[in-house]
């Protein structure tokens, strides 16, 4: 169907067209249109998407506007047979050129289209053929193309191997969308998925939203891990009241010997402070601790080894005092942090605490690390420790690819300052692809995420963002986004998203599908107080 005719095309990127009267109801912002092939390399039509629609009336100039002071003036025009509202009205649309299909991608034309060329509305089957992913790889269907019934497909291999980011303002539906992607990936690929969950909301994925086989299958893949000595009473009670079932989880502990020097030093300095002498002793002691046996031992054995190795650099009363004080601080740290374990068979209440096995997280399934009971520094330390071990294990190339989802990524890899987990996330973002470690970062403040992490996420999934600082940051960091895309990000509806980057053939406006499992990130609502007299 012919939708209009081009009236202005000053660059290969966009054009204006006059919308035919019979197509006005079908041409809206976001509508796909096509042009006849005017590039020798093009195989099939050239695709474009409407980014702006305006109504124009050439009779309404400044002189006429000055006269439109009341409804009576309009009626006077009509009495004389001049229906100014209709006789000179036209609809104009601006369309951004996506390009023509070459293999798996769209290529931009090098010259603009010609004025007076027709603009067409493709049928859904025609559009579906243009937007369909090519090849036999794994495809994730996270919804439909907005306003259409065409499935919105993502290339799973590119999404995982080249990392992705889910970005939106608070309450914009980031966690819901992340859950959809996780469900799709678990259904369609045999891949371990590790979720860093700072708020305890992904435990809800244990509960299916329907009785379908897919919903039951995904919910049974979910394994929740809680730091050993964290009180989960309130969250467990909330879960039980909301879903009518008990929350399933395992308590885990970390061997303090497994920490890197940087993490141990960072934790000690944050909670108790370290003098220069204590730092030197710790560095010397930890060098020998890291090459000795890392098996789980009692607190006394652990401190004895640390004191023996630290004593290698002790000379004089001052250093002896520094060593003694350091031992006290280490004991306090290990005893007071809720994620350390120093002996087999520890319990929290009647619940056993077992040593966290990284190889277990590298097995097919959805592994949720619930960090909601920890303060931010402890969360950063655990994220750094776990993800560094995942990366090191993957670097042996003996494991399947793994997908890591990091909620509130700006807390673990901030753009300003540093955190205990920043270097680990930067390393995974830069080098993870070579070893099959995929990363998905989720943030409500893109400008607060470290640029070396965000810039390596080559697929971006946007929900609504309105903060101008965040929009500017995204424009500077993200490779596959245009000014038109950024404008659209500002006005997305609640259940809409915009996907750009390597995992899609072109920027895709989508309507996100329903969840298979329950969503734990619901915003609390106010309870009405009852009838009151005003």
Token pair, residue 240, equals 């039980």
Span 218-222, mean pLDDT?
A: 98
pLDDT computed for residue 331 by the predictor = 93
Q: In this model, does residue 90 exceed pLDDT 90?
A: no
Closest CA to 221 of 199, 240, 248: 248
Above 60 in pLDDT, residue 316? no
Closest-CA residue to 367 (of 517, 212, 505, 249):
249
- Write out the E strands in 163-208: 164-167, 192-197
Give the separation between CA 278 and CA 276, rounded to whole angstroms. 5
Closest CA to 495 of 140, 147, 28: 147
**Considering only CA atoms, which of 269, 264, 267 is closest in space to residue 286?**
264
Q: What is the pLDDT of residue 88?
A: 66
Q: Which fold has domain 139-254+343-512?
A: Rossmann fold (3.40.50)
The residues with which 53 forms a beta bridge, in sequence order, are 93
Cα 376–Cα 381–Cα 387 angle in degrees, nearest 5 = 120
CB atoms within 10 A of CB 414: 18
- Determine the pLDDT at residue 475: 84
Backbone angles phi, psi at 342, to 5 degrees: -120, 0
pLDDT band at 107 (very low <50, low <70, confident <90, very high): confident
The residue ranking higher by pLDDT, 16 or 80, is 16
Provide the pLDDT confidence category of residue 528 given band limits of 50, 70 and 90: confident
**What is the distance of C-alpha 113 from the center of its chain?**
37
The owner of tokens 């500077």 is: 476
Grade residue 103 by pLDDT with cuts at 50, 70 and 90: confident
pLDDT confidence tier of residue 222, bands split at 50, 70 and 90: very high
- Would you place residue 476 in the very low, low, confident or very high pLDDT band (cuts 50, 70, 90)? confident
Q: Which of 179, 196, 231 is nearest to 386 (CA)?
A: 196
How high is the pLDDT of residue 42? 62
> For residues 200 and 496, is the Cβ–Cβ distance under 8 A?
no
CA nearest to 239, candidates 526, 522, 527: 522
At residue 25, the pLDDT reads: 92
Q: What is the pLDDT of residue 87?
A: 61
Query: Helices 483-490 and 468-477: crossing angle, nearest 10°?
Result: 150
User: What pLDDT, on the 0 to 100 scale, is given for residue 89?
Assistant: 80
Residue extent(s) of CATH 3.40.50.300 domains in the chain: 139-254+343-512
**How far apart, in whole angstroms, are the C-alpha atoms of residue 202 and residue 264?**
29
Q: Residue 129 pLDDT > 90, yes or no?
A: no
Largest CA distance in the chain: 108
Highest mean pLDDT among 68-72, 212-216, 267-271, 499-503: 212-216
pLDDT of 297 reads 80
Q: Give the pLDDT confidence score for residue 243 in this predicted structure.
A: 95
> What gap in Å lies between CA 83 and CA 13, rounded to an integer?
37
Element (DSSP H or E) covering residue 251: strand 250-253
**Residue 214 clears pLDDT 60, i.e. is over it:** yes
pLDDT tens readout for residues 291-309: 555 677 888 888 888 888 8
- State in Å, rounded, how far the first CA of the chain is from the last one: 58
Average pLDDT over residues 375-388: 93
Q: Are 294 and 334 in contact (CB under 8 A)?
A: no
* Burial tier of 488 (Cβ tally within 10 Å: 0-12, 13-18, 19+): buried
- What is the band of 65 on the pLDDT scale with cuts at 50, 70, 90? low
DSSP 330-365: HHHHHHHSTTB--STT-EETTEEEEE--HHHHTSSE
Q: What is the percent of the chain with per-residue pLDDT over 90, rounded to a whole number?
A: 59
Please tell me the predicted confidence (pLDDT) of residue 83: 63
Mean of per-residue pLDDT scores for the chain: 89
Output phi, psi for 255, to 5 deg.
-70, 120
Residue-level pLDDT at 399: 78
pLDDT at residue 63 tops 70: no
Distance between CA atoms of residues 397 and 392, nearest Å: 10
pLDDT range class, residue 521, cuts 50, 70, 90: confident
The more confident residue out of 160 and 474 is 160
DSSP conformation class of 68 = -
Instruction: Return d(Cα 134, Cα 302) in angstroms, integer.
Output: 56
Q: What percentage of residues in the chain have a pLDDT greater than 70?
A: 92
Residue 200 pLDDT > 90: yes
pLDDT for the residue numbered 81: 61
Residue 368: closest CA among 214, 520, 174, 212: 520
Instruction: With residue 360 as reference, give the H or E element that holds it.
Output: helix 358-361
Question: Of 56-60, 137-141, 217-221, 299-303, which range is least confident?
Answer: 56-60
Identify the band that residue 315 occupies on the pLDDT scale cut at 50, 70 and 90.
low
C-alpha neighbours within 13 Å on the C-beta side of residue 201: 17
What's the pLDDT score for residue 37? 84
Q: Quick one: pLDDT at residue 75?
A: 78
Going by pLDDT thresholds of 50, 70 and 90, the confidence category of residue 363 is very high
């Amino acid at each position: 169907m012919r939708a209009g005719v081009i009236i202005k095309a000053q660059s290969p990127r966009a054009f204006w067209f006059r919308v035919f009267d019979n197509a006005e109801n079908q041409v809206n912002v976001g509508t796909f249109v096509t042009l006849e092939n005017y590039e020798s390399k093009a195989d099939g039509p050239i695709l474009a998407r409407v980014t702006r629609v305006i109504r124009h009336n050439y009779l309404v100039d400044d002189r006429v506007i000055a006269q439109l002071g009341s409804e009576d003036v309009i009626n006077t025009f009509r009495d004389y047979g001049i229906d100014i509202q209709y006789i000179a009205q036209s609809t104009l649309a601006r369309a951004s050129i996506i390009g023509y299909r070459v293999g798996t991608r769209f290529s931009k034309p090098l010259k603009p289209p010609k004025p007076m060329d027709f603009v067409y509305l493709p049928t859904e089957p025609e559009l579906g053929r243009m937007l369909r992913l090519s090849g036999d790889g794994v495809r994730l269907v996270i919804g439909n193309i907005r306003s259409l019934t065409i499935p919105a497909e993502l290339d799973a291999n590119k999404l995982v191997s080249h990392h992705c980011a889910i970005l939106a303002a608070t309450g914009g539906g980031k966690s819901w969308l992340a859950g959809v992607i996780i469900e799709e990936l678990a259904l369609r690929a045999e891949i371990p998925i590790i979720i860093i969950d700072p708020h305890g909301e992904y435990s809800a994925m244990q509960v299916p939203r329907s009785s379908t086989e897919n919903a039951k299958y995904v919910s049974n893949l979910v394994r929740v891990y809680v730091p050993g000595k964290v009180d989960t009473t309130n969250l467990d009670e909330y879960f039980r009241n909301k879903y009518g079932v008990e929350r399933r989880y395992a308590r885990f502990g970390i061997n303090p010997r497994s920490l890197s020097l940087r993490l141990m030093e960072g934790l000690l300095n944050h909670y108790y402070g370290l003098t220069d002498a204590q730092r030197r002793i710790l560095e010397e002691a930890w060098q020998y601790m890291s090459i000795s046996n890392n098996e789980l031992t009692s607190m006394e054995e652990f401190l004895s080894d640390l004191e023996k190795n630290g004593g290698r650099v002790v000379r004089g009363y001052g250093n002896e005092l520094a060593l003694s004080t350091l031992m006290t601080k280490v004991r306090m740290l290990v005893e007071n942090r809720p994620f350390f374990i120093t002996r087999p068979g520890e319990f929290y209440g009647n619940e056993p605490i077992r040593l966290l096995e990284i190889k277990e997280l590298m097995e097919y399934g959805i592994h949720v690390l619930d960090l909601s009971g920890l303060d931010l520094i402890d969360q950063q330390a655990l994220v750094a420790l776990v993800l560094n071990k995942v990366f090191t294990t993957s670097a042996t190339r003996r494991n399947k690819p793994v997908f890591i989802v990091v909620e509130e990524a700006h807390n673990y890899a901030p753009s300003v300052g540093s955190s205990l987990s920043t270097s680990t996330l930067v390393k995974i973002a830069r080098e993870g692809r070579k070893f099959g470690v995929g990363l998905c970062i989720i943030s409500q403040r893109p400008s607060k995420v470290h640029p070396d992490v965000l810039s390596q996420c080559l697929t971006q999934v946007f929900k609504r963002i309105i903060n101008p600082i965040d929009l500017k940051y995204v424009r500077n960091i993200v490779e596959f986004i245009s000014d038109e895309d950024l404008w659209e990000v500002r006005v997305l509806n609640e259940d809409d998203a915009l996907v750009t980057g390597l995992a899609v053939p072109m920027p895709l406006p989508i309507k996100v599908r329903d969840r298979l499992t329950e969503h734990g990130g619901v915003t609390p609502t106010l309870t009405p107080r009852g009838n009151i007299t005003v």
